[in-house]
Structure 1
């Protein structure tokens, strides 16, 4: 799926189902340090390709976040081999590649420990939107932005409601 070998995410639109299945995994990443943040980029334009997952590599766990439609998110664990080539629907002109710490200011967050994780829901409609990761000195969010997986750092959140996970 998404041109990634052996990648088979389960997408969630229901917060309760997401929490019942993902809470045990999310609890394991508390106190883990961020080692790298991997994103897919178009090799021709160098732009981030937000239709593919964002991978947050921790000490010994790989969190893989993705978005679908405007109200579904997926988190998988250790299922993406970042060394394998991405084949986007066999399109020969589109060359996609994994890049480490290239999006926004991701290098500033390497080495920070995760303190807490919260679920994000859109205030106006209750759609499951993403996760908020509280770090030692900052925070980052992984969320669905109209069918694209987006990562932001320390951005003001006015459109979401945060739900305690742990």
Structure 2
């Protein structure tokens, strides 16, 4: 998908079922330092290609997060080789100039090198189209952030994120 070798998402919905599948591994990140946040970068307009996975490096353990539609989430571990080129093409316009870039999310700079204190799933609870959307939450000694659904793409929100989220796990 998106020309990213190794990225074969298994879309899941529902915070409790996602926690059942990934809770132990997410909890296992606690105590590790955040080393990098890898994003797919579009060099044609110098922007984040937010449809592709966010890869967080916790001392060599790569957590891969990708949102789809309004409520689907793929969580995976160490399957994407960040050194491999991304070979995705526009329909008729040729290759899309995409590549993995480390730390193009300046809002996360203050968390680099910090020890993760808690990793949770956060479920959006409100009477709107996003109801049931699941975000992955990260808490450090100096704050935290979520990788959430920005309406069919990934979004990064630095905490506090508001009262519409319910913690699961």
Task: Tell me which residue corresponds to 2:140.
Answer: 135
Deviates more, 1:56-65 or 1:82-91: 82-91
Matches within 5 A, 1:74-113: 74-89=74-89, 92-113=94-115
Task: Tell me which residue corresponds to 1:158.
Answer: 163
Provide the aligned C-alpha RMSD in A. Answer: 1.6
User: Cα deviation per residue 1:36-67 (whole Å; 9 max; x = unaligned)?
Assistant: 01111111111111000001101130001100
**TM-score, normalised via structure 1 length:** 0.91
Q: Per-residue deviation at 1:117? A: 1.6
Distance 1:5 1:93 in 2: 15
Task: Tell me which residue corresponds to 1:8.
Answer: 8
Q: Per-residue deviation at 1:93? A: 4.5
User: Cα deviation per residue 1:91-129 (whole Å; 9 max; x = unaligned)?
Assistant: 524211111111232222110111112211111154132
1:51 aligns with 2:51: yes
| 1:118/1:40 CA distance change after superposition, 3 Å | same
**TM-score, normalised via structure 2 length:** 0.89
Q: Per-residue deviation at 1:155? A: 4.5
**Where does the alignment leave 5 or more consecutive residues of structure 2 unmatched?**
none
**Where does the alignment leave 5 or more consecutive residues of structure 1 unmatched?**
none
Distance 2:19 2:12 in 1: 10
